Amino acid sequence: MKTILTGDRPTGKLHLGHYVGSLRERVRLQNSGEFDKIFIMIADAQALTDNADNPEKVRENVLNVALDYLAVGLDPTKSTLFIQSQVAELFELTAYYLNVVTVSRLERNPTVKNEIAMRGFETSIPAGFLCYPVSQAADITAFDANIVPVGEDQIPMLEQTREIVRKINEIYGEVLVEPDILLPQNQVCRRLPGIDGKAKMSKSLGNCIYLSDDSATVAAKIKEMYTDPLHIKVSDPGHVEGNVVFTYLDAFCNDKETVAEMKEHYQRGGLGDVKVKKFLQEVLEEVLTPIRKRRAEYESQPDEVLKILKDGTTAAREKAAEVLARLKGAMKINYFG
């Protein structure tokens, strides 16, 4: 069996980083016909670990993320789209996994460390937030997933999941499947920077181009995009490393030859930012136009979207219950048969 599990936190609409880091890959894998099962999860319970005081935000973005999924071409007849909080089995699994993880191991997770700093949680880390990598291990293993297509920030989560799987299997016998991470081939897609060129594009940092942004918004964001501060006059030689416009061209433009020529011209001097930005805008419009169109179609039928999620959640629950029963059997806590 080849099974995929992956997902997103409903903390905002999905952006270009999600697209190149994970969504584009998911759609490709979905349509490759190579997978027996594909589970795509809206991680609302995980979103609540650092948004407990903002339930409206999480609720509203469950629908937004679902619309983004359908917009990029995830197909509910091929992929199971579901909502994490409605699969109670995941929380039971998490509870048992927590027993094989130490607090110091949780505190060492570099992605979580970084997120704690970004959120200013240093002196008041919600326990649920510190433990979310364990709940992610439950999400992955509950579906016997062996492939997890994600961006680079998820490497420590997958490592932690694999450790938990090995530990559980060591104690209770071969009950869980050990998953592999699948990162995008293209290096720049593993961690797309934000339009400010500083951190990774992230919903929580407000440096995003959203899949649902209209043309004018995208144009305005490209206009303010970070380039090369030393490239003042058009005739000046410019730098392409760290220049977000070129990074995005590397991530989105299929015409690699043209991008290589533009980079060479820019470095030599004589190519202005305005021209490169205009080209990027054309490239992004080509990517975003069909996505916007499909999004609009589904936006007009919210009941249909809710039904897709409901049916997906029912199917996900069935599978998770099977895995949970297997584990509880191995743990000798199946008293009533």
SS3 state at 270: coil
Considering only 73, 76, 151, 179, the residue that binds ligand ATP (CB under 6 A) is: 151
Is residue 297 within 8 A of residue 67, CB to CB? The reply is no
Among 61, 94, 135, 154, binds ligand ATP (CB under 6 A): 154
Residue 284 is a binding residue for ligand ATP (CB under 6 A): no
Stretch that binds ligand ATP, among 17-25, 91-99, 225-233, 280-288 (CB under 6 A): 17-25
Evaluate whether 67 touches 292 at the Cβ level (below 8 Å): no
Segment lying near ligand ATP (by CB under 6 A), choices 86-94, 171-179, 189-197, 278-286: 189-197
Q: Helices (H) and strands (E) in the chain — how many of each?
A: 15, 5
Q: What part of residues 22-41 is at the interface with ligand ATP (CB under 6 A)?
A: 22
Neighbouring CB atoms inside 10 A of 157's CB total 22
Among 64, 84, 161, 202, binds ligand ATP (CB under 6 A): 202
Site string for ligand ATP, 223-262 (x = CB under 6 A): ----------------------------------------
Does 191 engage in binding with ligand ATP (CB under 6 A)?
yes
Q: How far is the CB of 119 from ligand ATP (least distance, A)?
A: 9
Residue 13 binds ligand ATP (CB under 6 A): no
Q: Residue 249 CB: number of other CB atoms within 10 A?
A: 24
**List of residues 6+ apart from 114 with CB closer than 8 A:** none
Residue 112 or 259 having the CB closest to ligand ATP: 112
Q: Which one of 33-41, 130-138, 163-171, 187-195 is the stretch in contact with ligand ATP (CB under 6 A)?
A: 187-195
Q: Is 17 in the site for ligand ATP (CB under 6 A)?
A: yes
Rounding to the nearest 10 degrees, give the CA dihedral for residues 290, 296, 297, 298.
110
From candidates 4, 125, 137, 192, binder to ligand ATP by CB under 6 A: 192
Cβ neighbours, 10 Å, residue 164: 26
CB 71 within 8 A of CB 211: yes
Count the site residues for ligand ATP by CB under 6 A.
19
179 binds ligand ATP (CB under 6 A): no
How far apart are alpha carbons 43 and 62 in whole angstroms? 9
Q: How far is CA 4 from the centre of its chain?
A: 13
Spatial distance between the Cα atoms of 4 and 35, rounded to a whole number of angstroms = 7
Closer residue to ligand ATP, CB minimum distance, 10 or 238: 10
147-149 and 180-182 beta bridge pairing:
parallel
Angle at 270 between CA 265 and CA 273, to 5 degrees: 85
Kindly state whether residue 21 participates in binding ligand ATP, applying the rule CB under 6 A. yes
Rounded CA separation 2/145 (Å): 7
Residues 112-141 that bind ligand ATP (CB under 6 A): none
Q: Which residues bind ligand ATP (CB under 6 A)?
A: 8-9, 11, 17-18, 21-22, 150-151, 153-154, 190-192, 200-204
